[in-house]
């Protein structure tokens, strides 16, 4: 069974009205382990990369131990730090990158990890589904920003498609790791 852990809980002020006009955001950064797979999901933007290095160190993992980086969609707040992992393959919407070689990725990525296309927030949206001891965990980027996400997403490419994919994820997942908050249990 796969293991999923939130390394750094994300946040965003994009859904909060304030007078500063400044948006602050950080994606939720997760760790997925399965067999020989050590994967960081959405290494995003951080005030310091040391935060992520320290979170991995607490798990007994070094930067060079990470062999996959998965990006839920191609918005910079989710992918900016992919270069922190020079030995890792990068799995994103268009390909599985091994250095400068692009390969096709398979939906059934591992025995207990499935990757599905979930456009709506972004046309490059992907969700990682991990079978864990606790149930199915969906790491879905900005399909949901947080638990009780606003119905309207001002950055969505296609609101109708986003709604359809939200409904699908809620049917599949026991837990959701949203794009900008901690993991939560679904209400089935």
Q: Is-contact 105 95, C-beta < 8 A? A: yes
Would you identify the CATH topology of the domain 3-185?
Metallo-beta-lactamase; Chain A (3.60.15)
Output the pLDDT for position 81. 97
pLDDT for 15 equals: 66
Determine the pLDDT at residue 108: 98
User: What token pair was written down for 180?
Assistant: 């900008």
- CB neighbourhood size of 67 (10 A): 14
What is the residue-level pLDDT of the chain in tens, covering all 188 positions?
Answer: 999 999 999 998 876 656 667 788 999 999 999 999 999 999 999 999 999 999 999 999 999 999 999 999 999 999 999 999 999 999 999 999 999 999 999 999 999 999 999 999 999 999 999 999 999 999 999 999 999 988 888 899 999 999 999 999 999 999 999 999 999 999 87
- Enter the pTM of the model: 0.95
Domain positions in the chain are 3-185
Nearest alpha carbon to residue 47 among 26, 66, 23, 30: 26
Q: What angle do CA 25, 39, 156 make, to 5 degrees?
A: 40
**Burial tier of 9 (Cβ tally within 10 Å: 0-12, 13-18, 19+):** middle
pLDDT of residue 16: 66
Measured CA to CA, the distance from residue 28 to residue 25 in angstroms comes to 10
What token pair was written down for 26?
Answer: 């950080």
pLDDT given at position 17 = 58
């Amino acid at each position: 069974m796969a293991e999923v852990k939130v390394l750094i809980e994300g946040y965003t002020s994009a859904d909060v009205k304030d007078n500063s006009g400044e948006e602050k955001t950080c994606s939720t950064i997760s760790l997925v382990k399965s067999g020989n797979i050590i994967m960081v999901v959405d290494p995003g933007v951080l005030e310091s990369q040391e935060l992520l290095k320290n979170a991995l160190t607490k798990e007994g993992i070094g930067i060079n131990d990470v062999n996959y980086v998965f990006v839920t969609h191609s918005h910079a707040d989710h992918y900016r730090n992919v270069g922190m992992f020079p030995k890792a393959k990068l799995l994103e919407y268009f390909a599985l990158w091994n250095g400068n070689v692009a390969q096709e990725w398979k939906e059934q990525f591992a025995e207990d990890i499935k990757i599905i296309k979930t456009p709506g927030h972004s046309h490059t949206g992907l969700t990682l589904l991990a079978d864990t001891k606790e149930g199915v965990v969906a790491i879905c980027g900005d399909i949901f920003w947080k638990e009780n996400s606003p119905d309207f997403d001002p950055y969505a490419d296609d609101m109708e498609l986003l709604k359809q994919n939200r409904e699908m994820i809620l049917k599949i997942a026991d837990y959701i790791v949203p794009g900008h908050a901690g993991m939560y249990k679904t209400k089935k």
